[in-house]
Amino acid sequence: MAKNFSTRDENYAQWYNDLVIKAGLADNSAVRGCMVIKPYGYAIWERMQAALDKMFKDTGHENAYFPLFIPKSFFSKEASHVEGFAKECAVVTHYRLKNDPNGKGVIVDPDAKLEEELIVRPTSETIIWDTYRTWIQSYRDLPILVNQWANVVRWEMRTRLFLRTTEFLWQEGHTAHATQEEALEETNQMINIYAEFAEKWMAMPVLKGIKSANERFAGAVETYCIEALMQDGKALQAGTSHFLGQNFAKAFDVKFLSKENKLEHVWATSWGVSTRLMGALIMTHSDDNGLVLPPNLAPYQVVIIPIYKKAEQLEAISAKVDEIKKSLEAKGIRVKYDNRDSLTPGWKFNEYEFKGVPVRIAIGPRDLENGTVEVARRDTLEKNILEITDIDNKIEHLLELIQVNLYQKAYSFRDENTFIVDTWEDFKNQIEKGGFVLAHWDGTSETEEKIKQETKATIRLIPVNPKPETGKCVFSGNPSSFRVYFAKAY
């Protein structure tokens, strides 16, 4: 398998795009801005889904599904929400096509105009809160802890596979609570779940914090986020959890009768992650040899490749591989045996290295005689000869080491690329080089916007419990009591 693709240093954007396409994760489609997620890419997303879905259900959440289409009038009910999404909405105006009387294919039937236009779901707060109005009458109906796995559409002019596409897959949680305290507890719980998933499953270290008013979700009172640092020094928002207060409950008149027999508005949260996590996974770990996948999310964790010249050799090797494969699968390890005879072992080695399979086992006639196998790690490219005896425990331990090593490597990279600056000149220089920049900020949206205009950097997050430190805003010179994280971002 030829490795004819850009390196990170040559062209990071091209390197990323080449990896996504040539590793068989996704393709561009006939629809501008939309992607086709291929089976290998979708298998990774399915593993993400399964892990997150279990975490949601373990904390009392249930899955449901709501309509793809949302009446336009619903968006008018929450002013800041419609302002935040208005420029990204795809709008359905008609419901029928007909043959062109001039014989030029099909046209939109002008007589089939909808009485009210429908918005293709960019997010579901409005349709869900209109539904909750019929579900909630009493405190006994609360809390509602619902999650939806769905696709959404946000019209994008400049798209990149997984990172920013017009249509993407995600999950969105929408919960309703009797008290502000319960809603805030839920908001915090979910950002902690996202952080745990990112670190334990994706092996991707993240920072947790709060978004500034400028970066806050449209319609939220507060947005909590996790942020990761990619290898090009740009930040990537990997998940958000929003405390919505009573904004949507008031907009859609969702009230409940409390234990004190008072009619009160419901408190709300929403939270979500998307296939953008696929982009984060690729850019956190992969290298100039191709994908690097953490064992916890790899579609198959081990690939076994036979090395032989004669059919009878393959038969003997396959018998031993069958034993090894069964012992590994008994440990819950996902294994692929590639005994295709149309490709050379060398080609297969390159293919699975490029596709990021964590562990490769090669076995030939001499290995059978010696009772050994060659084991190669994708993360370090190290190779070792191991005895087949107790191979299941050895491979299980190796996969655990690889998962930890990938996290530690990414953590060290972030640590080495987080900088404290105190002057505007140092700030501009460091932002241009990349990485997280910890700097004082005076707390105003005006200053934040000017910094963005001059450097393209944004406040990625405000620490939840910032370390008190008297200083001066890096831009305005006005007083500041703590530092915030700045970076250029995807």
pLDDT tens digits along 177-214: 999 999 999 999 999 999 999 999 999 999 999 999 99
CATH number among 3.30.930.10, 3.90.1300.10, 3.10.129.10, 3.40.50.10380, domain 12-70+128-285: 3.30.930.10
Same fold: 302-398 with 418-487: no
Q: Is it the case that residue 86 has pLDDT exceeding 90? A: no
The stretch 89-97 carries a mean pLDDT of 97
DSSP-assigned letters across all residues of 12-80: HHHHHHHHHHHTTSEEE-SSTT-EEEPHHHHHHHHHHHHHHHHHHHHTT-EE----SEEEHHHHTTSHH
Q: Which residues pair with 257 in a beta bridge?
A: 138, 263
Judge contact between 198 and 312, C-beta under 8 A.
Answer: no
Q: What is the pLDDT of residue 469?
A: 96
pLDDT of residue 281: 98
List, for residues 386-412, the tens digit of each pLDDT value: 999 999 999 999 999 999 999 999 999
Per residue in 337-372, pLDDT (tens digit) is 999 999 999 999 999 999 999 999 999 999 999 999
What's residue 88's pLDDT? 93
Q: How confident is the model at residue 3 (pLDDT cuts 50, 70, 90)?
A: low
Pairing of strands 372-377, 383-387: antiparallel
Whether the pLDDT of residue 243 is over 70: the answer is: yes
Q: Is the pLDDT of residue 326 over 50?
A: yes
162-178 confidence digits (pLDDT tens) = 999 999 999 999 999 99
pTM (predicted TM-score): 0.96
Report whether 215 contacts 223 (CB < 8 A). Answer: yes
Confidence of residue 119 (pLDDT cuts 50, 70, 90): very high
Q: What does the block give as tokens for 356?
A: 């990021």
3-state class (DSSP) for residue 354: helix
pLDDT of 98 above 50 = yes
pLDDT score for 2: 47
Q: 461 with 443: CB under 8 angstroms?
A: no
Say what the pLDDT of residue 456 is. Answer: 98
Using the predicted structure, report yes or no on whether residue 41 has a pLDDT greater than 50: yes
Above 50 in pLDDT, residue 283? yes
Domain ranges of the chain: 12-70+128-285, 302-398, 418-487
CB atoms within 10 A of CB 454: 13
Question: Across the chain, what does the average pLDDT equal?
Answer: 96
Please check the confidence at residue 77 and state whether its pLDDT lies above 50. Answer: yes
Q: 321-328 — which CB contacts under 8 Å span 24+ positions?
A: 321/363, 324/361, 324/363, 324/373, 324/388, 324/391, 324/392, 327/391, 327/392, 328/302, 328/391, 328/392, 328/395, 328/396
Alpha carbon of residue 408 to chain centroid: 20
Q: The CATH number of 418-487 is which of 3.90.1150.10, 3.90.550.10, 3.30.110.30, 2.60.290.11?
A: 3.30.110.30
Distance CA 194, CA 190 (A): 6
d(CA 378, CA 359) in angstroms, rounded, equals 6
Q: Would you say 379 and 296 are in contact if contact means Cβ atoms under 8 Å apart? A: no
CATH architecture observed for domain 302-398: 3-Layer(aba) Sandwich (3.40)
What pLDDT digit, counting tens, does each position of 431-468 carry? 999 999 999 999 999 999 999 999 999 999 999 989 89
